[in-house]
Amino acid sequence: MKKFFEGFQFFMEEVAFAPLNALRALELESWFGANILNWGFMLIGMAAFIYWMKQLKGFNDNNEERRYVVSHSFLAEDKQ
């Protein structure tokens, strides 16, 4: 059983985390290069946020959303 866990340890340290170790070594040379993955995630997040806001504005402009003053339907009459 010990060999299994040692093999798992070797796989995780030397194979699975090899890209992250390369980024860690790259940080000493170029901060921007080491954080390129983070910049990519931020760009994807910004694009998704802009798309989401555009879709919400479209629904808001078409009045497709029911807006009530109360938070739950059982607190007031259904005004359709």
Instruction: Assign 65 a pLDDT band (cuts: 50, 70, 90).
Output: confident
Residue 17 and residue 3 share a domain: yes
Q: Between 71 and 50, whose confidence is greater? A: 50
Q: What is the pLDDT of residue 23?
A: 86
- Domain span including residue 26: 1-34
**Claim to verify: residue 20 and residue 44 sit in the same structural domain:** no
Contact 34, 26 (CB under 8 A): yes
d(CA 18, CA 12): 9
Together in a domain, 43 and 58: yes
Cα 22 from Cα 31, distance rounded (Å): 13
Question: What span, in angstroms and rounded, lies between the C-alpha atoms of 13 and 1?
Answer: 19
Total tally of structural domains belonging to the chain: 2
At 26-54, the pLDDT tens digits run 888 998 888 888 999 999 999 999 999 99
Is 71 domain-assigned? no
The pLDDT of residue 24 is 87
Residues 1 and 21 occupy one common structural domain: yes
Q: Decide: 76 and 70 in contact? Cβ < 8 Å.
A: yes
